[in-house]
Amino acid sequence: MIKVDIDTKMKFLHGFSNKTRVQILESIIEDEKTVSEIVDDLNGNQSNISQHLTCLKGCGLIVGRQDGKYVYYRVRNQLVRDLLSMFDVVLEDIQNDIACCENHID
């Protein structure tokens, strides 16, 4: 088993710890999009979305590609897409437990 530093793991997992960031990941899981397209998908504001994109990029979950005046964001690779899919598989199995968890923080 590959051993990764716990602080690195925590920085990586931070990318998944916010609703807006997860929504962004789901918005770009299949196709790359500009900030404006992501803002439209999420009905958010550009400043907030841009901050979350910076976090996701820093966590290694997404990459950006400059094309003229636009930056197109996409999920980093198939491994990250697989991980997002695996979350859904695991959550389908444990969602009732999560719903009953009294320690859950919104």
Q: What is the mean pLDDT of the chain?
A: 92
**pLDDT band at 84, cuts 50/70/90?**
very high
> Which domains occur in the chain, in start order?
6-100 (1.10.10.10)
Q: What residues contact residue 18 under an 8 Å CB cut-off, 6+ apart? A: 52, 55
Rounded to whole angstroms, the Cα distance separating 29 from 82 reads 10
Residue range 91-97: mean pLDDT, rounded: 86
Alpha-carbon distances, residue 42 vs 28, 36, 77, 86, 105 (angstroms)? 11, 10, 22, 23, 22
Rounded to whole angstroms, the Cα distance separating 97 from 49 reads 31
Task: Judge whether residue 93 has pLDDT over 90.
Answer: no
- What predicted TM-score, i.e. pTM, was given to this entire model? 0.88
Least trusted range by pLDDT, from 2-6, 25-29, 38-42: 2-6
Phi, psi of 16 (to 5 degrees): -95, 0
